[in-house]
Chains A and B, each alone.
Chain A
Amino acid sequence: MLSSYAQGLIILVCINVIAVTGVSLLTGFTGLFSFGNAGFMALGAYVSAIASVELHTPFLVSLVAGVLVAAIIGFGLGRLTLGLRGDYFLIATLGFGQVVQVLIEFFDKVTGGARGFANIPPKTTLWIAVVLAVGSVAVAANLIHSKFGRNFTAVREQEVAAEAVGIDTFRFKQMAFVLSAMFAGFAGGLFAHYYMYIVPKMFDINESALFTITVVVGGLASLSGSVISCVVLTLLPELFRSLASYRMLFYGMAVVAIILIRPSGLMGYHELSFGWIRERMRAKRGKTASKEGKT
């Protein structure tokens, strides 16, 4: 069996994949950037943790409670802010993420404040995490290929045109935003029940920034790209663990390098599929063949 270190890494990757899938749905498929997803993750984590510890609810019920609270708050926040222009929307969500953190610290009677909330039962096992991560990605992939998904894409590519052909763009943005909040809340619940101890600092703006970086590095509009880049970016600092303090330095430089060298992200607008791989292989063979023809 895997060592507990390896298991921990896989669970961490799975949790991040779920959260990033949410951000990918929002950013990649509607063109909106949110910096508040760590806030939703915090809501999911704290609600499910408090439910498990104080109300002794079963794991599944706690998780669902966290997702629901994230969804409701996401709906309200979306209502207020989705009419804003891209940049302003980003700043509003950023403000939301900070407010969540400040309020968790302020209501320390319920949440434990800055000292954290401890004694959460360890329920997130390796298998649960893997199954749920795969399931979440599958749900998101299905959604993208449905009529909804095409509408999301229409909103991203040409909002005015989408509106003109009768797509209620606000409603679709609202839906994408609530979905991304739900994914984040779900990831938060799993996170809390894996680490058994949570502090508000775990869900700060840097966490939101990391999700967005992951999606951009993977390629906007490519769900499989987001997943691949999430796995790579989560494991990258771990590979350099022997270099201890240098690892985050490399991480930062890697992000800048990828943006410079591959402007459309790892996968660009492509999805990883057998058809796509076959096409790439053929294109490559075609190129070498034509080169051979010249010489």
Chain B
Amino acid sequence: MFLQQVVNGLSVGSVYALIASGYALIYSLLGFSNWAHGDIAMVGAYIALIAQTSGHVPFWLAVVLAIAGAGCVSMLSDMVAYRRIRNNHSPKMFLMIAAMGLSITLQNLIMVTVGPRFRTYGDVIPVRSIRLGGISLGVLDLLTMGIIVVALIALGLLIGRTKFGLGVRAASSNMVTASVLGVDVNLYIRLVFLLAGVFAGMAGVLLGLKYNIYPTMGSIALKAFIACVVGGLGNVPGAILGGVTIGVMEALVGGFISSGLRDAFTFALLIAILLVRPSGLLGKNIVDKA
């Protein structure tokens, strides 16, 4: 029973981790919480749905379209809104407010065009489970975890081993210095938005497969956001650790204490972390220069 809940938690937690890694990437570069990130995931889920139901394309192609579409929407959001706000030299909070406006816009755009109803992809992945020493593992859960582990390893290699990753790391440590040294900062920011959007699109489709597709499904990003804080804001491995921690904790609280109090525990963990170790599990201590 205990192990079963842990496994369930890992499955949900890996989705949190996938969304949180995109959050953390953007935060590490621009220092703001992208409130529209979860809605990008939602847009991805809907693109797959529309491609599947209206476009009658095979599901794998629908998924590819969803991932590409979510990446493009994410990149567009930077080109249309965030870049201008950066150029205005407005306070960082303005980026967040713009993201909130964007979040409302995307949700209502889908509400108006597709409708508020709950939708599903139908039986794309067989609802079967494999029994393994008393634990039942859903095929979908296994697939989810597998895809996410591969995606996150690829992200790690991309950031850690490539020239692109070096540029991103340089820009996140000091944007002005990086641009003086010849890093095209605006291009890198755009690419990071694209990357974060791709991950969000993937997460959106996986969430749609596991649960339902609806216009406010992006609110799950709140949990991913908390995962980022728990792991250390702007720290990608921390975000992944935070996502998995929260997923497992929620499953355990839901299974053994009360499913009604699940969210209360998550937020209590958030406040506890903020009070005891505000820089998060893996974060560095940054002194605020006020």
Do A and B bind?
yes
A interface vs B, CB < 8 Å?
33, 80-81, 84-88, 91-92, 95-96, 98-99, 102-103, 105-106, 158-160, 205, 209, 212-213, 216-217, 220, 245-246, 248-249, 251-256, 259-260, 263-264
Taking CB atoms, residues of chain A closer than 8 Å to B275 are 80-81
Taking CB atoms, residues of chain A closer than 8 Å to B90 are 259, 263-264
The answer on a CB contact under 8 Å between B278 and A252 is no
The answer on a CB contact under 8 Å between B104 and A251 is yes
Please list the 6 inter-chain residue pairs (A to B) with the smallest Cβ-Cβ separation, ordered nearest first: A255-B101, A252-B104, A252-B105, A249-B108, A256-B101, A95-B267
A-binding segment of B92-100, B133-141, B161-169, B193-201: B92-100
Tell me, in angstroms, the Cα distance from A263 to B93 when the chains sit together: 11
The answer on a CB contact under 8 Å between A260 and B102 is no
Instruction: With CB as the reference atom, state the residue of chain A lying closest to B260.
Output: A106
B111 at the interface (CB under 8 A from A): yes
Residues A248 and B108 in contact in the complex (CB < 8 Å), given A256-B102, A259-B85: yes
How far in angstroms is the closest Cβ of chain A from B235? Answer: 14
How far in angstroms is the closest Cβ of chain B from A106? Answer: 5
The answer on a CB contact under 8 Å between A255 and B100 is yes
Tell me, in angstroms, the Cα distance from A102 to B288 when the chains sit together: 32
Interface of B is mostly: helix
The answer on a CB contact under 8 Å between B226 and A95 is yes
Tell me, in angstroms, the Cα distance from A254 to B108 when the chains sit together: 13
Instruction: With CB as the reference atom, state the residue of chain A lying closest to B258.
Output: A106
30 contacts between A and B (CB under 8 A): A80-B271, A80-B275, A81-B274, A84-B274, A85-B278, A86-B288, A87-B33, A87-B233, A88-B274, A91-B229, A92-B274, A95-B271, A96-B271, A99-B264, A102-B260, A102-B261, A106-B260, A158-B290, A213-B100, A245-B111, A248-B104, A249-B104, A249-B111, A252-B103, A252-B104, A256-B98, A259-B85, A260-B85, A260-B98, A264-B90
Q: Mark B271-285, 1 if CB is under 8 A from A, else 0.
A: 100110010000000
Give the A-B pair count, Cβ closer than 8 A: 120
Question: Which residue of the partner chain, among A91, A249, A260, A263, contacts B274 with CB atoms under 8 Å?
Answer: A91
The answer on a CB contact under 8 Å between A252 and B260 is no
Which residue, A105, A253, A260, has most C-beta atoms of chain B within 10 A? A260
Q: Give the size of the chain B interface in residues (CB under 8 angstroms).
A: 43
B56 at the interface (CB under 8 A from A): no
Taking CB atoms, residues of chain A closer than 8 Å to B267 are 95-96, 98-99, 102
Tell me, in angstroms, the Cα distance from A255 to B33 when the chains sit together: 17
Instruction: With CB as the reference atom, state the residue of chain B lying closest to A220.
Output: B91
The answer on a CB contact under 8 Å between B97 and A259 is yes
The answer on a CB contact under 8 Å between A216 and B263 is no
Taking CB atoms, residues of chain A closer than 8 Å to B258 are 106
Question: Which residue of the partner chain, among A106, A205, A220, A254, contacts B264 with CB atoms under 8 Å?
Answer: A106
The answer on a CB contact under 8 Å between B97 and A255 is yes
Taking CB atoms, residues of chain A closer than 8 Å to B6 are none
The answer on a CB contact under 8 Å between A159 and B81 is no
B119 at the interface (CB under 8 A from A): no
The answer on a CB contact under 8 Å between A216 and B93 is yes
Taking CB atoms, residues of chain A closer than 8 Å to B106 are 252
The answer on a CB contact under 8 Å between A105 and B81 is no
The answer on a CB contact under 8 Å between B260 and A255 is no
Taking CB atoms, residues of chain A closer than 8 Å to B278 are 84-85, 88
The answer on a CB contact under 8 Å between A253 and B264 is no
How far in angstroms is the closest Cβ of chain B from A217? Answer: 8
B54 at the interface (CB under 8 A from A): no
Tell me, in angstroms, the Cα distance from A84 to B258 when the chains sit together: 31
Taking CB atoms, residues of chain B closer than 8 Å to A205 are 222
Tell me, in angstroms, the Cα distance from A263 to B102 when the chains sit together: 16
Tell me, in angstroms, the Cα distance from A160 to B97 when the chains sit together: 26
B124 at the interface (CB under 8 A from A): no
How far in angstroms is the closest Cβ of chain A from B212? Answer: 18
How far in angstroms is the closest Cβ of chain B from A238? Answer: 16
